[in-house]
Structure 1
Amino acid sequence: MDLFSGGGGMSYGFHAHSSFKMQGAADVEVGKPSTGHGAIGCNATYEANIGITPLAVDLAAIGADELAERIAPPSEVDVLLACPPCTGFSRAVSKNWAQDDPRNSLVARVADHVATMRPKILMMENVPQLLSGNFRHHYHALKISLEDMGYTVRASSHTLSKFGLPQQRDRALVIATAPGLPALTIEDLWHGYGLRKESVTVRRAISHLPAVAAGAQAPNDSNHTSSALAGESLARIAAIPHDGGSWSDLLRTPETEKYLIPSMWKAVKAGRLNAYSDVYGRMYWDRPAPTIKRECSHVGNGRYAHPEQDRQCTVREMAILQGFPERYRFVGQSRKNLYRQIGDAVPPLISFQLAHVASWILSGELPELKSAILPGTSLRAADLVAEESQLLLL
């Protein structure tokens, strides 16, 4: 069962694992609090890839008993996936230093669903500030409730490129196991193994895709399309150097200085050339991508421009960098919302590994790590390096 299921990133890893079957999902499809329910349209994407239509309900308003009655018999749920919104915890949102977002309370409410469904395993993903930020009391309330029910809770933060994601993405993973089951985590799955450096680069992930112009669409992939750019916006990106260039590079010549916008000149006058350096920046070919956030649909929101082509990275490119299989379909009329579905998602490359952890917990059989590589993603079995071999390489 998947609560806060979004476009299916967390579910897909379990859907792709032969030992699991998705019984149900629920998501209210909010794009922003101001846009209202159903706006982001992620349930259609979920259905297109997993074959289940999520229940479109507000998990802040529906009780756990009612949800269980409407979605699936609690006795059929071995693994509960619950990834409440991370926006209210993220350090990227300045007001989160002092203001507790009402959505944060959804974390502790997950305990109600656990009490009703009594899954053998609960898995949750969120930003690291869930465990260490100013509003970590929401997580602590959940942990206390779970432990009172007899669950063992393990929670820690990880840089997901360590597990093969071609992106600089730090996330907290929470795994709670019922009495009598081992408390295993993704770190246990990777014990004794590392990765080749080139396996988590932008070059590995997206360099094979066909070139497309800004706003255009590849003929064989409706998701290989990006936000349209024209006029000065297109000229600005074209003036930024390939492979990691940034807006500060526009200061090189009078011909390119003219493309600086007022906020850039303000940073220049303040002597803060490194401030917001990722804005209008290009990705580096031979590094992991920057963190792909929900507002990744415009080059002005971060280092989201293609390393060479004069455009925003496409929906398909962002999805691959977020660990989705290359054939995953994103559905909806609004391209901006497709980008949001990706930025909000748990990377399936990671959730497939979590499915292997869950299978290990339930069966007692240690899976081979190479079997936990999700087909169709940028990670390959040959990228795995045993610790002994890794030391020799170093």
Structure 2
Amino acid sequence: MEQNLPVACVDLFCGAGGLTHGLLKKGIQVKAGVDVDPACRFAYEANNGGAVFLDRDVESLTAEDLASYFPRGSYSLLAGCAPCQPFSTYAKGKDTTQDAKWKLLRSFGDLVRKVQPDLVTMENVPQLPKHAIFNEFLEAFDGYHTWFEVVECKDYGIPQRRRRLVFLASKLGAISLIPPTHEKHISVADVIRDLPEIKAGETYPNDPLHASASLTEINLKRIRQSNPGGSWQDWDEDLIAECHRRDSGKSFRSVYGRMRWEDVAPTMTTLCYGFGNGRFGHPEQDRAISLREAALFQTFPKTYQFIPKNERANFTVIGRLIGNAVPVRLGEVIAMSIADHLKMVNKAEKKAN
């Protein structure tokens, strides 16, 4: 980054370090990541230089707790993705400001008030601005310039059909995300076609994360009859699940599906390793995508370690870490946007002097 002062950052709700890694790659000095899930520690600290993992509840943090991570002579950045519960349970127009499920977003806003960082960024679900709690969150930004928009991640080099809210705030002046960087989207083939072939239930010897969940005999038959981009409707009648035979289940076409080589991947979730959990079937091989492939769709580097060497991958745990992560590339884009913003700030300051 070319601004006069470095940017020191604390990443709240840091998870396995997707946002941190992207920020670091583009020059932001991430000093610490905060999360209550101890399973995140190894991946966070093994891949992110000197950034330390703090096993803390964000609700319990004070400005004093974070002061040492924001040294004098640097801009301070508070970053994070406050986890929000699924929105399907909320009726349209329902007031959610008092719902306990929103406490993490409220805690994020409270911490902004206490710390008063120069810069803030947040990634979150696209539905968030429709809820009253978001207006409450914005009240924490008195004295800040704010920007937020729902972003199509594939337009920024993330090979997924993923829409996310990106929020930026600055005390220094107007700020916004850089324009889309990828007119041509990165495809499934671009990302995983060169990986070694494995079978369902198999782990590639040289990479414990290139592991595919096992399939039952009926699911093996189902995936063999699944076409790329198709659905369970391609199968013989005797393979169709009872729930999909009912009228209520006929609209659920995006499960038990294969990806298409030439398309982007579906949104990675915490259950992205399961054939029956979405369109997570490999385009060609008779298996669900491996954990490594899921991590690559989240734009983690091939070298990113989620477990120590010689340790067997736990699908439930690592699936959660990968699915909950902010894509690394989105972290890069946010860092690039902050760099552009600070260049403009410095240019304006020089002109004023």
Q: Does residue 186 of structure 1 match 2:178?
A: yes
Aligned to 2:134: 139
- What residue ranges of structure 2 are gaps of 5+ in the alignment? 1-9, 347-353
Partner of 1:23, secondary structure, is strand
Asked whether the equivalents of residues 74 and 117 of structure 1 are also in contact (C-alpha less than 8 Å), the reply is: no
Quote the offset at 1:112 in angstroms: 2.4
Distance in 1 between the 2:273 and 2:115 partners?
A: 37
Aligned to 1:261: 241
- CA deviation digits over 1:283-310, x for unaligned, max 9? 1111111111222231111111111111
Where does 1:349-360 land on structure 2 (aligned, <5 Å)? 349-360=329-340
Query: Deviating runs (4+, > 6 A) in structure 1?
Result: none
Q: Does residue 164 of structure 1 match 2:157?
A: yes
- CA deviation digits over 1:331-360, x for unaligned, max 9? 275222211111111110111111111122
Quote the offset at 1:72 in angstroms: 2.9
Distance in 2 between the 1:352 and 1:307 partners?
A: 28
Partner of 1:200, secondary structure, is coil
Where does 1:261-340 land on structure 2 (aligned, <5 Å)? 261-267=241-247, 273=250, 275-331=251-307, 333-340=313-320
- CA deviation digits over 1:53-106, x for unaligned, max 9? 41111223x04235426x7357566211121003x2x44xx3133694523232
Q: 1:22 to 1:194 in 2, by over 3 A?
A: closer
Partner of 2:282, secondary structure, is coil
What amino acid does structure 1 have at the position aligned with 2:134? Y
What amino acid does structure 1 have at the position aligned with 2:89? K
Aligned to 2:183: 195
What amino acid does structure 1 have at the position aligned with 2:328? P
Distance in 2 between the 1:23 and 1:264 partners?
A: 49
Alpha-carbon RMSD across the aligned residues, in angstroms, is 2.3
Q: Does residue 72 of structure 1 match 2:69?
A: yes
Q: How many residues align?
A: 327
Q: TM-score, normalised by structure 1?
A: 0.77
Distance in 2 between the 1:194 and 1:341 partners?
A: 26
Equivalent of residue 48 in structure 1, options 46, 50, 53: 46
Q: TM-score, normalised by structure 2?
A: 0.86
Asked whether the equivalents of residues 25 and 54 of structure 1 are also in contact (C-alpha less than 8 Å), the reply is: yes
Asked whether the equivalents of residues 240 and 249 of structure 1 are also in contact (C-alpha less than 8 Å), the reply is: yes
Q: Does residue 6 of structure 1 match 2:18?
A: no
Asked whether the equivalents of residues 211 and 292 of structure 2 are also in contact (C-alpha less than 8 Å), the reply is: yes
Quote the offset at 1:259 in angstroms: 1.7
Aligned to 1:104: 102
Distance in 1 between the 2:303 and 2:15 partners?
A: 18
Question: Could you tell me the percent identity over the aligned residues?
Answer: 31
Quote the offset at 1:194 in angstroms: 4.7
Aligned to 2:30: 22
Quote the offset at 1:116 in angstroms: 3.0
Asked whether the equivalents of residues 146 and 174 of structure 2 are also in contact (C-alpha less than 8 Å), the reply is: no
- CA deviation digits over 1:147-170, x for unaligned, max 9? 2xx111111111111111111100
Partner of 1:220, secondary structure, is coil
Aligned to 1:175: 168
Q: 1:286 to 1:329 in 2, by over 3 A?
A: same
What amino acid does structure 1 have at the position aligned with 2:268? I
- What residue ranges of structure 1 are gaps of 5+ in the alignment? 30-37, 251-255, 367-394
Distance in 2 between the 1:342 and 1:99 partners?
A: 31
Where does 1:29-40 land on structure 2 (aligned, <5 Å)? 29=37, 38=38
